[in-house]
Structure 1
Amino acid sequence: MNALRTLLLTAVLAMFLSACGTDSWNDVEIYPEDRAVEHAVPAVPAEPAGLGEGGASISSDVITTGTASVRTGEPESAAADLAADVRAAGGRVEFSETSTRGEQPRAEVTVRLPAEKYESFVGTLGEYGEVIAQSTQAADVTQQRVDLQARQAALQASIDRLTELMTGAANVDDLLRAEEMLTQRQADLDALTAQLEQLQDQVGMSTLSVTFTVDDDGYQPPGVFERMWQAFVSSLETMVIVLVGLLPWLVVLGLLAAVVSAVIRRRRARRSVVVEERD
């Protein structure tokens, strides 16, 4: 009798454990992102830095940025030559500006060029003038890229799981709930994808900012007579602008003066007639 009772209790306990182990819709509803990562990305034994599965090396992702100052007799021309050479090397110009500081012209250019050509291109900066200063910074973002890819894979696995469960939804409420969760996770996946693409663009295309300034012999400030002529032309332009602004008011004042003059002449004419009649 005791053996039969023990057998029945064991069977009931097995059925209960089996029921608890089955997947349900509520499991998907509370499916957190870290749990998605566990399902999408299998656990990997710890490897030495720079090594992947089987000891294979993992390529490093490095963002390279640099700055340089170049002294040249013609900053604008040198900046244009630099931009043309960057485009020929498969790069692009992100910012370009020419200005004058303290009566001296200068030009600033920010370019993006393929990472594999960065070092060789920096070595040619001396062709545009005298390199006064140059610095390069490199940031390793390999771990950041790996984390983004893992989260991307986890979200994609969760989306695939929800898509499968939507096909077997028991009622409309379950279907609507699944669509809401699917929309949110798709938005998260799109944001992660855009972030990963931006990171890969920064890795693949290095950034270089170059400032061109003039040298002592390549630029001469204006002489005395040139400055006097510039001052005369500037004052003449100011006078013309003032006259053009006052022209409408001068016309109005002229009309008022003509009317007042006519009224005064009429009164004088009347007074002279009255005086003559009295006489």
Structure 2
Amino acid sequence: MKGKTILPLALLLAAVLTACSGGNSATMAAAPSAAAEYKGEMDRPEEPAPDMALSTTLRAAGVYEDAKLIQRADYEVQTTDYPAAETALEALVERCGGYFEYQETSGGGYYESAARRWGSFTIRVPKEQYDAFTGSVGEVGHVVSQSGSAEDVGQNYSDIELRLQTQRTKQERLLALLEKAATMEDIISLENALSETEYQIEQYTSDLKRYDSLIDFATIALRLTEVARISDEPGEVAPLGARVASAFGEGLHSFGDGLGNLAVWLAYHAVGVAALLAVLMGAGLAVRRRLRKRGAVHAPPDAQTEETEGR
């Protein structure tokens, strides 16, 4: 009886030990596997981080492409040969596919043959040719000053598009209600609402077209002035010797220009000056003779006798 009792206990103990051994084996087997997996994760080469500068550049390029930019530029140009500069400007505008929105020229008229000429131009060029045009303005003449700007109107453009879509949806609903209207009062009310909606649609459509024109074609304001010569004065940071030499040269040029202008003025008014001098000389001689005669009449007799004997 005792042997029968020990045998089941021994079998039970063996089973328990076997189970524990199996659990420990499974745990030990799983541990190296997890460690190996962790080690593999650690040994795996890291993926290269994205180039932040490149990503920023790409995002900026995307924003620039999608942006609604109104580009403007302003130029002050000088030239010593106005007709040639004007021809060069016309050729540049044509080459860039643009046109003159406004132009005004002055000087060189019938009564102002010696006057300096100047021109004021407003030019529109396609936005794709904006950089090409602004980079070639130097072909026209000497660029004295320049400025440029780019205004992003994307937010305003989107707002107008949204309002336009809202008004069109409202128009469709009003038309549907108008078809179902039964009374004259309802019909009149709906037609008034439709009229106001159509007016808003026209306004928003016009605003979008105006924006499209300003976006698709850049605006360049250019003033062209004729000068006697192009000055190359050094800046204030230039050496003192260069500034003194430049000032001396400028003084000589100014003195020469003054003499030249005086000669031109005298040549232009030669007839008038000669006539004026002749009149003044004649008047002077007449006054002198009259003074002589008046002095002879009022002179004492002895003086008259002496004057007669002297003659």
Bin of the TM-score, shorter chain as denominator length: 0.5 to 0.7
Counting only pairs closer than 5 Å after superposition, residues 181-196 of structure 1 correspond to structure 2 as 181-196=193-208
1:199-227 C-alpha deviation (Å, 9 max, x unpaired): 11101110111122234437x78644542
- Percent sequence identity is 25
1:112-140 C-alpha deviation (Å, 9 max, x unpaired): 10011111111011111222211101111
The separation in 2 between residues aligned to 1:138 and 1:223, in whole angstroms, is: 45
1:166-217 C-alpha deviation (Å, 9 max, x unpaired): 1111212111111111011101110111011001110111011112223443
The separation in 2 between residues aligned to 1:175 and 1:105, in whole angstroms, is: 65
State whether structure 2 residue 265 is matched by structure 1 residue 227: yes
Secondary structure of residue in 1 paired with 2:133:
helix
> Residue 175 of structure 2 corresponds to which residue in structure 1?
163
| Residues 116, 226 of structure 2: 8 Å contact kept | yes
Of 83, 87, 90 in structure 2, the residue corresponding to residue 83 of structure 1 is: 90
The separation in 2 between residues aligned to 1:159 and 1:131, in whole angstroms, is: 53
> Residue 142 of structure 1 corresponds to which residue in structure 2?
154
The separation in 2 between residues aligned to 1:80 and 1:174, in whole angstroms, is: 65
Counting only pairs closer than 5 Å after superposition, residues 192-203 of structure 1 correspond to structure 2 as 192-203=204-215
Of 213, 221, 234 in structure 1, the residue corresponding to residue 225 of structure 2 is: 213
| Closer/same/farther in 2, CA of residues 234 and 96 from structure 1, 3 Å limit | farther
Of 111, 124, 128 in structure 1, the residue corresponding to residue 136 of structure 2 is: 124
| Residues 92, 133 of structure 2: 8 Å contact kept | no
Moved more, 78-87 or 141-150: 78-87
Tell me which structure has the larger Cα radius of gyration: 2
Which amino acid letter does the alignment assign opposite residue 191 of structure 1?
A: Q
Of 107, 116, 119 in structure 2, the residue corresponding to residue 107 of structure 1 is: 119
Name structure 2 gaps, 5 residues minimum: 1-58, 109-113, 231-256, 274-311
Counting only pairs closer than 5 Å after superposition, residues 42-57 of structure 1 correspond to structure 2 as none
| Closer/same/farther in 2, CA of residues 125 and 150 from structure 1, 3 Å limit | same
Secondary structure of residue in 2 paired with 1:104:
coil
Which amino acid letter does the alignment assign opposite residue 166 of structure 2?
A: A
> Residue 68 of structure 1 corresponds to which residue in structure 2?
75
The separation in 1 between residues aligned to 2:271 and 2:150, in whole angstroms, is: 51
Of 212, 216, 227 in structure 2, the residue corresponding to residue 204 of structure 1 is: 216
Larger RCO of the pair (alpha carbons < 8 Å, separation 6+): 1
Aligned residues: 181
Alignment RMSD, CA only?
3.0
Give the superposition deviation at 1:88.
Answer: 3.8
Moved more, 152-161 or 65-74: 65-74
The separation in 2 between residues aligned to 1:229 and 1:184, in whole angstroms, is: 71
| Closer/same/farther in 2, CA of residues 139 and 65 from structure 1, 3 Å limit | same
Give the superposition deviation at 1:99.
Answer: 2.4
| Residues 62, 140 of structure 1: 8 Å contact kept | yes
Name structure 1 gaps, 5 residues minimum: 1-50, 236-279
Q: Report which of the two has the higher share of helix.
A: 2
| Residues 76, 106 of structure 1: 8 Å contact kept | no
| Residues 120, 224 of structure 2: 8 Å contact kept | yes
Q: Give the structure-1-normalised TM-score.
A: 0.58
Secondary structure of residue in 1 paired with 2:160:
helix
The separation in 2 between residues aligned to 1:193 and 1:83, in whole angstroms, is: 33
